Amino acid sequence: MCGRFALWSLMRALAEEFDLEGSEFEMRPRYNIAPSQGVHVVARRDGADRLVEMRWGLVASWSKEASSRAPINARAETAAEKPTFRSPLRRRRVLVPADAFYEWRKSGGGRKVPMAIALRSRAPMALAGIYDVWRPPEGPALESFAILTTAANELMAPIHDRMPVIVPRASRARWLDPEVQDPARLADVLGPYPASEMEAHQVSTRVNSPANDGPELVEPVRGLY
C-alpha cells in the first residue's frame, strides 16, 4: 500500500517535471503527507495540466457522506472491476507528485521499521491516482483521490508486497488524457516501476506520527537494512 509520502520539490521543479500551466503559487515543503489531508495533484483541466488540491481518501460520487474512512489506495489489478474505482479509472485520473514515499518493513519481534523510497535520479515521482467528485446537499463539492498500487518490485519486496504505481514520463500524457477510457490502454502503466531506478533507506520512527514534519524525517538513520 501507500499510506504516507513526502513532497519537497519547489514549484519551479514541479512545473518543469510535469509541464504545468497556470501554477504560479509556491507550496511549502511537506515531509509527512498523510491520508485525509489536502494534497496538490496534477489534473487535466481545460486542456492543460495544472496543480489542483484534492483530499487524500476517495469519496465516491454516490456516497451518502464524506467518510473519513475513505479508501486511500486502489489495487491496480482490480480497480476496473470495483464500483468505487471503476468510473474514476476510466474518466478521472491524476498524477500525485512525490519526492519519496514511506513504507514500514517488518523486523524481529513484530517491530516495524520505517523506510523512505525515492528515485535514484532524485526527480519527483508521478504516482498514479484516480479521483471522484462528491457533492453534499449543501456547500462546495469535494474532490478526493486514491493512489493505485501494484505488486512490489525487487527493491520493495523485502519491505512490503505492494508499492504505488509510478507513471513514467513517456506515459503521463496518456494517463491524464480523458479521451482514454479503455482500461486496456492503460494496462502497461500499472506494473511495478524498475527497481534499478529506485533506492530505499531507513528513516527515523518520528515519521510514524503525522504530527511530525521536517526534512529530518527523510534523512537516513543507521539500521539493519
**Which active-site residues does the annotation give?**
2, 103
Nearest to 130 by CA among 46, 65, 210, 71: 71
Strand, helix or coil at 204?
A: coil
End-to-end CA distance of the chain: 20
Q: Please answer whether residues 134 and 142 qualify as being in contact, where contact means their C-beta atoms are separated by less than 8 angstroms.
A: yes
DSSP element (H, E) containing 176: helix 172-176
The grid coordinates of residue 162 equal: 505492494
Q: Which secondary-structure segment (H or E) carries 102? A: strand 100-106
- CA 173 vs CA 46, 108, 178: distances in Å: 14, 43, 10
Cα torsion at 72, 76, 81, 82 (round to 10°)? -10
Q: How far apart are CA 75 and CA 82, in angstroms?
A: 10
Q: Which residues contact 203 (CB under 8 A, 6 or more apart)?
A: 102, 114, 115, 116, 217, 218, 219, 220, 221
